[in-house]
Structures are given as C-alpha cells and as structure tokens.
A and B are shown apart, each in its own frame.
Chain A
Amino acid sequence: MLQLIKKILKTGIVTENYKAPKDDELESLGIQIKRHIDKKFSGSIAIRQVDAGSCNGCELEIHALNNPYYDIERFGIHFVASPRHADVLLVTGPVSRHMQTALLRTYEATPNPKWVVAVGDCAACGGEFGVSYASCGAVSNVIPVDVVIAGCPPTPLALMQGLLGLINK
C-alpha cells in the first residue's frame, strides 16, 4: 500500500513537470468559445461524434482536441457517448451508403435544438470519394448541416475555430 501511495505521489509530480505551452491563438480562441458557451448554452455543449464513412484521419484530429495541449473540455465542450445526450453532431466522412440509415437514426435520436457540423473535406463535399454506388458523398446529402469545417483532415485549431463559428451563428 505504501508503495502504491508512493507511486501515486511520484506519478503526480511527473504530471506537473509537464506544462502546456502558452499558445496564444489557442488561448484566445478558447476564451472566445467559452464566453459564448457560457452565454448561450449555460456553460456547456455536448458533442456526439459520428464517423459516417471517414478514413479515420479526421477522428485522429478530433481525438487530439482532448489531449493536454487543447484540452477542449476546459472551454465547456465535451464529447458524449450517446446522441440522446448531445447538442451537436460532429459528422465525418463521405456518408457511406452502409452508414446512411445509422446516421439518420443518430440524427433522429438527438434532441432538439440540435446542430450538425460536417468535419473534413469528405463530409463537406465528398472529398476523394465523391458520390458512388457505395457513397452518398457530402453529409448535407443525408442530413441538414449547419457548419462545415474543411480540411483533410482539419487541424485541431481549425476544429476549434469551426466550433466557434457554430456557436456564433
């Protein structure tokens, strides 16, 4: 037990040794987002991410929003496990036909008011995959889209800027 506590204490110190850099752009962007979320959403918006056919590139960058550098939760944005808990659907990929119904059902399961953000070039316009027997192309071909964040994939900063755009709407 002593060893465990010692380990926890030691681990704690290791964490504190790493300080997040002062990234001015990130900080000011985050503060803007936070201000709007506080005003319009009582301090918090919940996001449900849906991969509707992406290559997984966009997911990697959405993941990065939760790393210690961006730590998007400090601005009141958090990811939830169910569309029923969500204000925003963050949809990636060209919508594959095999995911079309799943995406429609996820959209229906999200309570109103809700917003849809199409993330990445594929979600925006079909990207490299376009429309085919297997792909519906852009997310807006399947469900209404409020904001588009372009990029292949969009960087974490671009994602934050895009989310700010949604909140400002």
Chain B
Amino acid sequence: MSSANWTTGFLNQLIATAITVEQISLPSTTLWQIESNHWQQFAKLAKQQSVRWVAGWAEHVEDRFFVNACFEKQGVYVLSRTIVHVAKPELPSQAGVYPAANRSERHTQDMFGIHFTDHPDNRRWTRHQAWSKHDYPLRKDFSVQGEPKAVTPPDMDYPFVKAHGQGVYEIPVGPVHAGIIEPGHFRFQAVGELILNLEERLGYVHKGIEKIAEGRTPTQLARLAGRVSGDTTVGHSWAACRAMELAAGITIPPRAALIRGILAERERVANHLGDMGAICNDVAFVFAQMQFTRLRELWLRTHTTVFGHRLLMDLIVPGGVACDLSNASCALIKQEIALFRRDLSEVVPVVDLNSSLEDRLYTAGYLSQETAAAFGTLGYVGLSSGQDFDVRRDAPYPPYDQVTFKVALEDQCDIASRFWVRYKQIISALKLIEQFMAKLETGDLLTEWQTPPTGSEALGIVEGWRGEITTYIRFDADNKIARFYPRDPSILNWPALEKLTLNNIVPDFPVCNKSLNGSYSGNDL
C-alpha cells in the first residue's frame, strides 16, 4: 500500500537520526512514543516530509504529563507522544517548525503549566483573568469549581503587538461585536483604511469544556460534544462518538452510519447557505442574503419534520443514532432536494453575474497557498487555497467508504473562492444525501454499548462542515471519560484570518471574517 509508505520511510529516517520510537497500536491509528528532547527534531523531520501538523494537546496522568501531537499525510494519521514529569514540565516547542502548533501549545501551557522552550510567542492565550498564572485548570489537582473571584476582572494588559509611525492608528474591536455574533477581540493597526496588522485575542467563551468532560458517561459526553460549537453539533458529536466507539471496539450498524452521513451533509448544506448569504450581505448584496436565509429556513424546517430538531442536536449517540428515516421521510427529502436544486439554479446565476459582487469578492482576503499550508488550514478555507484534503475522501470512514465524490478545489485563494467552494460542497452534499438514502436498508440503529477497558484511547476524525475535526478520547475506569479534546477546524483556520486580512481595507474586514467563519466557541473550548 502506497499510503502506508510514508510512515515506514519516516520511521527509518527517525531511527537513522537516533530518535528512538516506541510503537504502540491504537484503534485506527498508530501511536509513536518518543523522548521529550527529540520533540522538536521530530517535527523538523516531519516537516521535511511535508507531513501535516493536525492537533496538539496534553493530559495529566499521575505525576506525568502526556504531550501529544497528531500528524497526517496521504490520509494516514500518526499520533506522537512524549512524557514529561510534573516536577520539570518542559519540552522543546514545535511551533517554530509548524506555525499551526503555536496556539495549541499556548493553550497547553495555560491549561497544564507545561513550558515549551523556544516557543516563538509564549504569551498567554486561553487564560484571561479567571484563574491565576500559577493555576492550571487541566491538572488533576485543580478542582472543577476553581477559586473564581466574585467578578472576574477584564483582561486589561494583554501585550498586543504595537505599531508606531506617522498616521498609524489602532482599532480595538470587541469582545462584544456589533451584530448577532460570538465574542472575541480584534486589534487592528491601520493607516487610512489599509490594515497593516490584525491580531486576534480569543478565549472569551472558554467554558471549561475539557475539564467538565472528565468523569462523564459516553452519553453525557456526546451531549457535551454536540455543544462544542452549536453550528457543528453533528460534526462534533460524530467525532466524539467515533472516538468512543473505536476505544470501546464497537462497530455501528450500517443503517446508523448512513443516517449519520445524511445528518452531516444536511448540516453542511445548512451552514453553507447561511455563510453564502452572509458573505453577500457583508458587501451589501441583500438579495442573496434574503434568498439564502430563505432556503436555509426551508432546509431547517425539514430537519424539524424529519428529525425533530432544527439544528440536529443529540441525534448522534454512542453506538449509533437516536433517529430513524422512514420511507416517507426519504421521499420528502428527495422532493425537497429537487425543489432546492431548482431554487438554487435561479438564485446562483444572479449572484454569479453580479459585477459589484465580483468587484468586492475577487482578490479580496487573499490567502496564499504557502500560508494556508503553513497554518494547516482546513475545509473550505484550505480548499480555496489549494489545500487538497478532505477526510471523507482521504481517510474515509463509514458511510463515506461506500461512495465516491469529487472534492471541490479552488486556487484563486480569495473570498470568491471560499464562496464557490461552499457552493460546490452543497452540490456534492446533495448527491451524497441521495446516495446514502439509496443505500438505506432495514436494520438496527444502535449497537449495544460495551464498557471499554480502563485507559483505552482513540482518535475520532471526521469531516465537519468547516473541515477536519480531530477528537481525542481516553477512558477511565467504569465507563467514565478521563480526557476529551476536540480540535475544531477553527483552531487551525483562525490564524489564517490574521494573514488574509493584511492589505485589505478595514471596511472589508467583516466579509473577510465571514469568508473564514471560524467558531469562537470551538476555539475557546
């Protein structure tokens, strides 16, 4: 198998460089345990092989920290791990090699008190003022309740990057934005209308998701995962359930897998419709906003009729799904898709032929292929900048292993590309929904849950509507969760916003932001 080759070749290279690797087999992935002093060198060698950095997180186990970094190439994932002791929690940073690792390492630093040496930017990230510099919420000796003040003070003195010079001014925006949108802070340096620099300060909606996940049962965890980011409730609950199922050695029934596929594609369509309307609205083309929100509303009403929830929450449960699709529902969806296609064929040409949209969306918010690759951007953001990756095609999981479909790719790298990739993804999602419905056969919806052995762990990797979601789960004794880390695609896409807004004008920031549409909640956890 050609896809397995990179790991074999890479392993040989590691051995040649005197990096000792202990190979441990995990369900669906390989775990490579290495010495902490080789952590950075490992990343350098991986980078040379064009291996993609996927996710980074840590875990507190007795007197040690497990520090993890996940990598991928050609659809083959490798989980690398090193162990550092609580007494000296220090290891070399990978962020200098992989910019994608930057914020995840800062998150690990804030949450565990692990120091990454040579980190290019070790300012606090997730920590504001809700806990002190010397407290680390994800350590086991930190209680869920912590010791919060009656009123948490604002995070006043965060050391933002400064710019000086004649005519340079600063625009602070947020955390409370002027719209119906999640909170976060953006700090602009501008000259006239031109953006010289943008710095994001997120973490405002940090809700302690990783901490409150500890000790939950699989069912409770699926509910929590469904609320990591409300717009990706299907994606996150699927990733979490898939990780738990792999850890427990459970295979879900084929019918449940197909229904999960239908749910995920419907979520993709609903969100893309919202985004496409909002992108047009941000450049004052209200016609498209009205049409796309109208189509979204119709789409969501079908969700209520068929699945009982407008946003499809809590339908994916450990072992399968909590909903079924009757023949009547399938017929309804078929009919809906036919009408929807006709509607789109009337709306989309109007958008396509509009010269003012062309003027505003083409070349705006340019994200070069190199930058997109450096930050490991995912989903429609990556695909619009030539990053040809889709978990559904490259590391397929049921039901995507039974179908073939084309992954939309654009290389213009601008807002228009991000708009059209979304459109193409809608078209392919419609086809996928039809294919999945055609494959539905009568059968079970749930596999009986089995308590996984203490310490069993797995990665659940699925393609959410924003891109690849990587979720790590480790079980404790008695069916309880020991560690839950969901890596939303936004964690890798947010840094790209800082780059793609450069040299745009301040009034174009909203549309730049919308074209990326990162989740604040999924980022802050």
Contacts and interface: CB of A to CB of B under 8 A. Distances in A.
A127 B521 CA distance: 15
A102 B294 CA distance: 33
Nearest to A20: B294
A135 interface: yes
Contacts of A127: 227
Interface string A37-72: 000000000000111111111111111101111000
B148 interface: yes
Interface stretch (B65-73, B179-187, B316-324, B407-415): B179-187
A97 interface: yes
Interface centre among B130, B153, B354, B355 (most CB of A within 10 A): B130
Nearest to A142: B151
A54 B178 CA distance: 16
Q: By DSSP majority rule, is chain B's interface helix, strand, loop, or mixed?
A: loop
Contact of B297 (A64, A93, A134): A64
B331 interface: no
A31 interface: no
Contacts of B313: 57, 152
A98 B145 contact: no
Contact of B274 (A52, A53, A60, A83): A60
B204 A99 contact: yes
Contacts, number: 174
B182 A155 contact: no
A132 B211 contact: yes
B347 interface: yes
B463 interface: no
Interface string A86-109: 000000011011111110101000
A51 B181 contact: yes
Nearest to B300: A64
B137 A68 contact: no
A99 B224 contact: no
Given A55-B228, A57-B311, A132-B212, A49 B180 contact: yes
B182 A54 contact: yes
A80 B151 CA distance: 27
Contacts of B209: 129
B205 A98 contact: yes
Interface string B229-241: 1110100000000
A98 B206 contact: yes
Given A53-B207, A63-B180, A153-B230, A130 B212 contact: yes
Contact of A56 (B155, B203, B231, B310): B231
Given A7-B353, A67-B296, A81-B178, A133 B137 contact: yes
Interface of B: 128-131, 137, 142-148, 151-155, 175-176, 178-183, 203-209, 211-212, 223-224, 227-231, 233, 274, 287, 290-291, 293-294, 296-297, 300, 304, 310-311, 313, 346-347, 350, 353-355, 519-521, 524
29 contacts: A14-B346, A52-B183, A53-B204, A55-B229, A56-B520, A57-B230, A57-B233, A60-B231, A61-B310, A63-B274, A63-B293, A64-B296, A67-B294, A68-B293, A94-B207, A96-B207, A98-B203, A99-B205, A100-B152, A101-B151, A102-B176, A104-B151, A129-B227, A132-B208, A132-B211, A134-B207, A134-B211, A135-B207, A153-B230
Given A15-B287, A102-B154, 15 more contacts: A7-B353, A14-B287, A14-B347, A15-B290, A59-B181, A60-B311, A63-B180, A66-B293, A93-B205, A98-B204, A99-B175, A100-B151, A132-B146, A132-B211, A133-B144
